[in-house]
Structure 1
Amino acid sequence: MSENTTPAGTAPTLLDRVPVVPVVVLHDVEHAVPVARALVAGGLPVIELTLRTPAALEAVERIAAEVPEILVGAGTIVSPRQAKEAADAGAQFLVSPGSTPSLLAAMDDTGLPSLPGVATVSEVLDLLERGWQEMKFFPAEASGGQGFLRAVSSPVPAARFCPTGGISPDNAPGYLALPNVGCVGGSWITPADALEAGDWDRVADLARAAAAL
């Protein structure tokens, strides 16, 4: 499982590439390439496509094939089957909202970097024992937010997090200031109305502002 974690002192890891990972829900596969290019133009060359819609896997394929300058990942991985499907589609990293032994094994089997989800100290310790140091903290705001992460930073300094769930431009700076947070995940960069309207300039502007956090 060593491929899923990078020892301190080596870089970059998933958590060190951008301050905000855009978490994107696409209903129209034709939006995949334009939104990816808009994010790159705005200075956020990472995208997490959530596997919540029928368009998601094809969107991963298109971005992987046509926008090589962006790191494309698949999120909301909730089953071993999805982990394999995402990898086969060309995903370059995987993100799950939680973690079970079978899900962790499936993500590990893909050979891709991954951010398994945690919401408790016991889950953090379990992932550390399995070799993961980088994790998704989800749902961040509902699970204690910045206070939780601040509290675990001293007793569990090896764990690093990408908080997602309830993150906004207003609270993102507070999360990013914590020593155990490498980046945050947010959906505000690609609002549904902008995607529906094909307003890629707006997406690029939102990405530009997020990249500056």
Structure 2
Amino acid sequence: MTNNDTRQAARMADKIAQLDSICARARIMPVITIAREEDILPLADALAAGGLTVLEITLRSAHGLTAIRRLREQRPELCVGAGTVLDRPMLAAAEQAGAQFIVTPGSTAELLQAGLESAVPMLPGTSSASDIMLGYGLGYRRFKLFPAEVCGGTAALKALGGPFGGVRFCPTGGINPDNLQGYMALPNVMCVGGSWMFDSEWVNNGDWARIQQASAEALQLLD
């Protein structure tokens, strides 16, 4: 192993440790798409008041990067990551905005390489064993399973645990209070992502108390 290989392995080990710490803190990670700029702070505050302090802000809307910057500046106690990162420019923009972790819906060779070069830890998206192997060959050991329920849910994760014993997942897509406990009971699941605790109607109506309550109730299912 060359010195460069040793340094890269050490950097990846550090990123894996960071992701483990983030996911252990999260347990449930809200996956948030901001429709209105004025919702950024009250929504984050409601989720945090309910106990959800690790937030994935997707870049699916024009307000995603603004939300990351504002939360990093005004809510430094929260852990804020960028989701729906699709390519190098989006990764660079998320880093510049202050994202503390990166989540992608899928994996490409270019994006996986960009993740290796980035100082920010990344959860690459996967939906198959082949996707996992693409990242595994580069040193990745932590992945997002998406869309989890469509990909086979807990049965798929149990099956993947055989050939990929050292790999752990954050499943997202179709997670809800009815199946949450089944996912979190699996040894290769470190946290889950979802949005059921902040229904869009509640956000539109500014029903922050209801979002706080739903967030707290979601965490209570894991106690």
Q: Structure 1-normalised TM-score?
A: 0.93
Does structure 1 residue 183 correspond to structure 2 residue 204? no
Any unmatched runs of 5+ in structure 1?
none
Partner residue, 1:202 = 210
Matching of residue 92 in structure 1 with residue 103 in structure 2? no
Q: Does 1:116 align with 2:124?
A: yes
Q: How does 1:102-181 map to 2 (within 5 A)?
A: 102-181=110-189
Using structure 2 for the length normalisation, give the TM-score. 0.89
Q: CA 1:11 to 1:28, structure 2 compared with 1: closer, same or farther past 3 Å?
A: closer
Deviation at residue 11 of structure 1 after TM alignment: 8.4
Identical aligned residues as a percent: 41
Q: Deviations over 1:5-58 (max 9, x none)?
A: 12xxx9852321222100011111111111111111111111111111111110
Contact 1:160 1:181 in 2 (8 A): yes
The structure, 1 or 2, with the larger RCO (C-alpha pairs under 8 Å, 6+ apart) is: 1
Q: Out of 13, 34, 50, which is 2:21 matched to?
A: 13
Q: 1:45 touches 1:71 (CA, 8 Å); kept in 2?
A: yes
- 1:66-77 to structure 2, matched below 5 A, reads 66-77=74-85
Offset of residue 202 of structure 1: 1.2
How far 1:178 sits from its partner (Å)? 0.6
Q: Which is helix-richer, 1 or 2? A: 2
Cα distance 1:93–1:11, how it changes in 2: closer, same or farther (>3 A)? closer
Task: Please identify runs of 4+ aligned residues in structure 1 that moved more than 3 A.
Answer: none
1:32 aligned partner: 40
Given that residues 47 and 53 in structure 2 are in contact (C-alpha distance below 8 angstroms), is that contact kept between their aligned partners in structure 1?
yes
SS across alignment from 1:185: strand
1:94 & 1:171 partners in 2: Cα distance?
25
How well do the aligned residues superpose, as a CA RMSD in angstroms?
1.5
User: Is the 1:121–1:152 Cα contact (8 Å) retained in structure 2?
Assistant: yes
Where in structure 2 are there 5+ consecutive unaligned residues? 1-10
* Deviation string, structure 1 residues 48-82 (Cα, Å, up to 9, x no partner): 11111111110111111111111011101111111
